[in-house]
Structure 1
Amino acid sequence: MVKMVVYGRGSFDQTASILASQRKGDYPFIFLVDDIFKERESLISRIPLEKKDKVIFASAEDEPKTKQVDRIAKELIEEFGEVSGIIGLGGGSMLDLAKAVALMMTNPGSSADYQGWDLVKVPGAYHVGIPTLSGTGAEVSRTTVLTGPERKLGMNSDYTPFDQIVLDPALIKNAPKNQRFYTGMDCYIHCVESLTGTYLNAFSKSYGDKALELCEEVFLEKDVWDEDSDDKLMMASYHGGMSIAYSQVGVAHAVSYGLSFLLGTKHGIGNCIVFDQLEEFYPEGVEKFKAMVDKHQIHIPKGICAGLSDQQFEEMIDVALFLEPLWENALGSNWRDTITRKKLREMYEKM
C-alpha cells in the first residue's frame, strides 16, 4: 500500500518539501510528465526543479509499453547512474509508466520479464504519483499495466505501489469531458467487478462501496460538473484502487486487455466498449452505466472488431484467457465451463 498520502487543493505546491527529505546527494529527481502539458507553462513552472533534476515528457497517446519503460530506465542509468526518485505527473498511463521505470532502475533485465504476479524481487527507486485525471486507481494500485511483446499484463508486486501520492483535485479541473468520463468509468467498472466477485472481502467491500457511491453521485445524481465533482471523483479513484488491493477486477478488464493489446484501445474507453455489452454478467451495473452514458451524452464506439481476421480474434482471446485471476474472481474456480474460446469470440464480435 502507498505509505504516504497528501490530499487537498493546492497540495501540489508541497511537492518540494515532500521530496526534500528523500534527495540523495546530487542524484536527481526525474519528473515523467504527460506531454499534453508541454505547452502548459502554468503547470510546468510549478514543478520544483533543483540541481540536476529533470523533466521528461512522455506521450500517453498509447498505453505504456515495455520497450518504452526499458528505454527510459536505460537512458537514466547511463546518464546519472541512479536517481533520488521518479515522479509521475499525469493520468493513469503516466503513473503506470513512472512506477515501471522506478522498478527498472534497480531490477535487471527487461520490464517484460516482470509482467505477472510477484515477479519483482527488489524495491525500485523512490517514486511519487501525482494524478491529473481520476478513475484508474493507478495512484494506489500494486500493478503497473504494460503492453509487452507477447501480452498486456501488469508488473504486479508489493514493490510497485508509490511511496507517496499527492492528490490535488485542482489538477484535474477542466479535463476533457469524454476523457474524464472514460477514466471515471474505469473506477465505476472495476468497483462493480470487485463488489460482485468471488474474491470479495470486508476490506475490498468497504472501499468499493464508497467508491461506487461516489461514482453514482457524480455521474448520475449531479446535474452540473463543479469543484465538488472533481473532489469526489478523485476520492472515488482512491477508494476504487484500494478496493482491488485485496480483491480483483473481472470480465470487462479481462476482455478489454485483448482490445488494448491488438488494437491499441486505451484502457478507459476499452472498458466502456466492453462493459456496454456485459448485461449477461453485470445486469444492474450495465443498466446504470448506460444511464450515465445517456446523461452525459458520451459516444461509446461500436464495431471496432468488424473486419478482424480469425488470427486477430485468436490473439485477443489468448490475451484475455491468460488473465486467470480475473476470470476466477468474476465466475469462480469453474470459470472455464462458461468462458470458452467460442464464447469469447462471440463477445468480441459484438464490439
Structure 2
Amino acid sequence: MNKRVKEGQKLANHGLATIKNTTEIIWGSGAVENVSSIIEKNKVKRVLVVTDPGIVKSGLIDLVTPQLKNVEYTLFNEVEPNPSVQTVNKALDKCKELETDLIIGVGGGSPIDVAKAVAVVYTNGGSIVDYEGIDTFPNQSAPLLAIPTTSGTGSEVTSFTVITDTERNYKLTVGGTRVAAKWAIVDPQLTLTMPPGITASTGIDALVHAIESFTSRASFHYSEVLALDAVSLISGSLRKAFYQGDDLEARENMLLGSLTAALAFNNTRLGNAHAISHPLSAFFGIAHGIANGILLPTIMEFNLLSCPEKFARISEAIDPEVKGSMLEKAYESVHLVRCLAKDIKIPTSIAELGINKAEYEAAIPAMARDALKSGNVLVNPRKTKLEDIIDLYHAIY
C-alpha cells in the first residue's frame, strides 16, 4: 500500500487533514496573456511547448507561441489520447536537445500529463515507468506551466500524471507534490471552441471527479465543500455548454467546476470509476471521459448504500427542488446523473462502442487485476474485492 493511500485512510478514520495545493493559479478570461509575464519574471530562455495536433489545428496554440518571441522554443505536438510512454520519451528527447528551462503543457489532460511526465524525468533521469506510485523520485520536477483547453481532467492543478505503458496494456500513475505544475493559467475563453463530443466526455469526467471525491473515504470538510460545489456547477452548466458551446458563462462554470473538483480530489483521490476506467482505456483505447461516463451510474449504485446521506446531498446539489426521504434522494442522484449523461449523448454501455463481447470478456480478468492495483479502490466508499470489480465490468457491457 502506498504512502498516499495510508494518509487517505488516516483522513477518513481519524479526521486528520492535509491540504495540498502547490500550483499558482491564474484564473479568468484573458488569463492566457500572462504567459509572457511568467517567462519574463523567471528569466526563462528556452521553452518546450507540449500539445497535440488538434490544439495546433484549432489555432489555440497561436495564443501562446507569439508570447515566446523573446525566447528559444520547440513545439512538440505529437501527443495522442491516452498518451504512451513512447510519446513521453520523444518529448523528453526534445526537452534535452533544447536544454529547456520551462515546459508549457497546452491542451486537455493528455498534453498536460505528458508535460508533467517529461518534467519529472528531465530532472530525475531514467524513464517515467521507474516512478510509478507516490513520492517515488527525489528531485523536484522541472518548472511547468499548464494551460488547459478543456473542462475535465483538472490536470493543471493535480499532483498526478497518468501515462499508458503499451507493452503492459497498463495505465501507470506517478504522483506527489513534486509532480504538480508550478503555474496554471486557467482561461475559459480557451474552451469556447471545444466540439460537443469533447465537451461531453471531459465534462462528465469532471463530474465523476467531483462525485468520487465527495464520497471518498478520505474526504474531509475542505474537500467536500469543493466537490459538492463542483457537482452543482457542472451539472447546472454541462447541457448548455454541450448544445450552446459559445455561451461564455456556461464555459466559465464548467472550467471552474473542473478546477474545483480537481482541487478536491487532489487531496482525497477518487474511487472505483477511475480505477476501473483506466484498464478500459489501456486495453481498448476507450477515451478516459467516455469510460468514466459509462461507469458512473453503475458505480454510484454500487456505492450508494455505503453512504446514502452523501448521495442525497449530491441529489440536492444537482436539483435543489428534489423531494423525498434521505434514501429516496440518494437513489434519485443516480437517476439525475443518468439523465444528464443521456442528454449529452454519453454511451450507456461498452457494447455501444462496438467492442466485441468475446474479446471484452476475455480481457476482464486482467483488467480487474489491474484495476485492483489502483489506490482509488482503497478510498472507494464501499469496500471492493476482485470479484466485485469483475462483476462491475460485466455490468457495464
TM-score under structure 1 normalisation? Answer: 0.90
Report the equivalent of 2:254. 233
Contact (CA 8 Å) 1:306, 1:349: kept in 2 or not? no
Q: Is the 8 A contact 1:197 1:250 kept in 2?
A: yes
Is the 2:162–2:173 Cα contact (8 Å) retained in structure 1? yes
Output the CA distance in 2 between the equivalents of 1:140 and 1:105: 20
Q: Which moved more, 1:257-266 or 1:228-237?
A: 257-266
Cα offset, 1:101, TM superposition: 0.8
Asked whether 1:327 is paired with 2:377, we answer yes
CA distances 1:1-46 after superposition (whole Å, capped 9, x unpaired) = 243211111221221112212234x4x1111122113334464264
Report the counterpart of residue 288 of structure 1 in structure 2: 336
2:263 to 237, 242, 245: 242
State whether structure 2 residue 112 is matched by structure 1 residue 111.
no
Cross-structure match for 2:231:
212
Aligned partners of 2:63 and 2:249: how far apart in 1?
26
Secondary structure (helix, strand or coil) at the match of 1:31 reads strand
Q: Distance in 1 between matches of 2:219 and 2:360?
A: 37
CA distance in 2, matches of 1:285, 1:120: 41
Q: 1:38 and 2:88 equivalent? A: no
Q: CA deviation at 1:108?
A: 1.6
1:308 alignment partner, SS class: helix
* Residues 43 and 153 of structure 1, relative CA distance in 2, 3 Å threshold: closer
- Corresponding residue of 2:38: 18
Moved more, 218-227 or 251-260: 218-227
Q: 1:6 aligns with which of 22, 26, 29?
A: 26
RMSD (Å), alpha carbons: 2.2
Which SS does the other structure have where 1:315 is aligned? helix
Query: How many residues matched?
Result: 340
**1:175/1:301 Cα in 2 relative to 1: closer, same or farther (>3 Å)?**
farther
2:184 is matched with 165
**1:339 aligned partner:** 385
In 2: Cα distance, 1:102 partner to 1:154 partner: 15
Contact 1:98 1:127 in 2 (8 A): yes
SS of 1:281's equivalent in the other structure is: helix
Equivalent residue, structure 2, for 1:176: 195
Of 359, 363, 367, 1:312 maps to 363
Cα separation, 1, equivalents of 2:27 and 2:123: 29
SS of structure 2 residue aligned to 1:88: strand
Give the counterpart letter for 1:152 in structure 2: K
- Secondary structure at the aligned position of 2:173 is classed as strand
Consecutive unaligned residues of structure 2, counting only runs of 5 or more, are 1-20, 305-330
Q: Say yes or no: does 1:349 pair with 2:394.
A: yes
Q: Which residue, out of 29, 54, 64, partners 2:83?
A: 64
Structure 2 distance, partners of 1:180, 1:221, is 10
TM-score where L is the length of structure 2: 0.80
The answer for the alignment partner of 2:14 in structure 1 is none
Flag structure 1 segments of 5+ consecutive residues without an equivalent: none
> How far apart are 1:100 and its partner, in Å?
0.8
2 CA distance for matches of 1:220 and 1:307?
Answer: 35
1:260 aligned to which of 278, 281, 286:
281
The letter for the 2-side match of 1:53 is Y
> Which is helix-richer, 1 or 2?
2
SS in 2 for 1:331: coil
The separation in 2 between residues aligned to 1:38 and 1:52, in whole angstroms, is 19
Q: Give the Cα–Cα distance (whole angstroms) in 1 for the partners of residues 59 and 291 of structure 2.
A: 31
Residue 178 of structure 1, CA deviation: 1.7
Change (3 A) 1:45 1:233: closer
Paired residue secondary structure (1:147): strand
- Determine whether 1:87 maps to 2:104: yes
Cα distance between partner residues in 1 of 2:48 and 2:224: 36
Note the C-alpha offset of 1:95. Answer: 0.9
Deviation at 1:314, TM superposition (A): 2.0
Cα displacement string for residues 221-269 of structure 1 (whole angstroms, at most 9, x for unaligned residues) = 8885511000011110110001012212101111111201211212111
Deviation at 1:295, TM superposition (A): 2.9
Tell me: CA distance 1:310–1:289, structure 2 relative to 1, closer, same or farther (3 Å).
closer
Q: Deviations over 1:43-97 (max 9, x none)?
A: 426422233212111233x3122222123213421x13x3111000101111111
CA distance in 2, matches of 1:11, 1:5: 10
Matched-pair contact (CA < 8 Å) for 1:317–1:345: yes
The verdict on how the C-alpha distance between 1:310 and 1:184 changes in structure 2, with shifts beyond 3 A counting, is: closer
Distance in 1 between the 2:206 and 2:63 partners?
A: 30
State the shift of 1:109 in Å: 1.0
Aligned to 1:120: 137
- Displacement of 1:328: 2.0
In 2: Cα distance, 1:8 partner to 1:163 partner = 18
- Residue 346 of structure 1, CA deviation: 2.6
